[in-house]
Amino acid sequence: MSEEIPAALYRVYSSESQSFFNPVFGFQAMDREVFRGQATEPLSLDKATMVHALKNHLDWGSRVPSPFVSTTSSYSKALILAKSRRMLGQTVFIARICAAKILRTSLPYRHLPPYNAKRLAQALGVWDEIDFIRQSSVEWLVPSTIPLRAVDEIRRFTKGASAIGL
């Protein structure tokens, strides 16, 4: 599943997010075991496991721990997501991620590249089974961890946030 990965990705998160920010390790998915020690891409793993993980991850109502950290390649979409979370009373942050810094080759915590959510669902043959009203070609899923070295900047989302400088 070869594809052009965007230079910058944006992670919108709050205390309500499933994946979390660890100041030592970076962003971590709730379920990091699926990819632990894997020197391969998601499509070469057990298909049933990957389909289950992808469907649960993309169902925002699901609280099943996910092996993915969601990002978007669109800063404008990040602002929309941040605004909607802030309207729910959450304290929201937007992180700018350098996609090229995500990759790592050492095991057991090899960092796999981001995958476009739509293309991954199509490759797994489940595109028609997933509600993609909120999903689009700008959503990227990072398996397991976005290492701290890839996090270029984190800013708190506030009123007038279109000028936060990301």
For residue 137, give the nearest of 114, 115, 122, 117 by alpha carbon.
117
CA distance 146 to 29: 9
CATH of the domain at 150: 3.90.210
Q: Is residue 163 part of a domain?
A: no
Task: Provide the residue range defining the domain that includes 95.
Answer: 8-158
- The count of domains in the chain is 1
CA distance 42 to 102: 16
Q: Is residue 165 part of a domain?
A: no
**Residue 32: exposed, middle, or buried by beta-carbon count in 10 A (0-12, 13-18, 19+)?**
middle
Strands 115-116 and 92-98 come out as unpaired
Could you tell me the pTM of the whole model? 0.83
pLDDT per residue rounded down to tens, the chain (166 residues): 456 889 999 999 998 888 889 999 899 988 766 666 554 555 556 788 888 888 888 877 777 888 889 999 999 999 999 998 888 888 999 999 999 888 764 555 556 778 888 888 888 888 776 665 455 789 999 888 899 999 999 999 886 555 444 4
CA distance 72 to 88: 20
